[in-house]
Structure 1
Amino acid sequence: MNVESLRGKFFLDTNILVYSFDNSAPEKQQAAQELIETALSSQQGIISSQVVQEFLNVAQRKFVKPMSLADARIYLETVLRPLCQHFPSLGFYEHALRLCEETGYTFYDSLIVTAAIEAGCKIVISEDLQNGRIIQGTTILNPFV
């Protein structure tokens, strides 16, 4: 994926943040780091509170070398907080449940797509969803294909 081709708001799924720390997959790590840098510098990249929660949980529990609380606080302030621009309402969960029915996605995947749609993103960048699928005007893109 060419990060320079990103136009307008785009949503980063949790797996992109996780890959940015994965030394065992250097190509994915580099691509993820470039996406995060572009998200921050362009101020067009968005994550949701769900992504913040999932990332911090994975970083502290599943990384080969778990992220310390001090490092987690730094990452929260420098990366997660600036990108986090979607916070759920009760209507958000209703929208996500409808999306589950329409797409067959799991509830948590539907939350990601719903957050992107509600935040006005035209692209969701994720390894885990169906590359190229368009849902309510938002396109899923896998940066690693």
Structure 2
Amino acid sequence: MRGSPPLPREFRLVPGRTFVDASVLVRLFDDDEPVRQAAARALVGDLNGPALVVSGPVLAEFAETVMVRLARPLAPVAVRRALTELSELTVVSADASLVLAAADTAEEEELGLRDALTLEAAVLGGCDRLATEAMRHGTVLRGIHVEDPAFGGNE
């Protein structure tokens, strides 16, 4: 049984909404992975702004990764520019209730807390798809279809 209250009407499932996690956002800037980069760019280019959803923690993880972990890190000014553009998308905030829901989901779905937090943010954002490289492509978790953009969409 979930400890979180029912979602407000504005956060109910919206067909065609895709939650994009940090792994996919990073690929937009990762020239060392051209196939994955092209897949990420195609996903983002095919969907309009309201159809794309991210979260505050995803934006932070994206920034950390592209500034520190890429073989060719981005300059802080480029990261700031990217964050400014990404913040124009629908951004789900991470509050205590989201983290508590993620803790429940982590246990129920046998996920790490970070993946569960991403999944719960997708639920809260009303998404029917989750674009990620971090979870198994083709699974359905909490009613959301998990897709790795490099696999070409739904199976």
TM range (shorter): 0.7 to 0.9
Give the SS at the match of 1:95.
helix
Q: Deviations over 1:25-68 (max 9, x none)?
A: 211111111222234x3520111001100010011101222211
Maintained 8 Å contact 2:131/2:147: yes
Mapped partners of 1:84, 1:53: distance in 2 = 15
Query: 5+ unaligned residues in a row in structure 1: which ranges?
Result: 1-6
Aligned to 1:56: 63
Identity across the alignment (%): 25
Match among 62, 65, 89 for residue 72 of structure 2: 65
Give the SS at the match of 1:114.
helix
Mapped partners of 1:115, 1:127: distance in 2 = 16
**TM-score, structure 2 as length reference:** 0.82
**TM-score, structure 1 as length reference:** 0.87
Matched, 1:25 2:2: no
As a proportion of its length, which structure holds more helix?
Answer: 1
Shift of 1:93: 1.1
Between 1 and 2, higher relative CO (CA 8 Å, sep ≥ 6) is seen in 2
Mapped partners of 1:38, 1:64: distance in 2 = 27
Mapped partners of 2:34, 2:102: distance in 1 = 33
Paired residues, number: 137
Query: 5+ unaligned residues in a row in structure 2: which ranges?
Result: 1-14
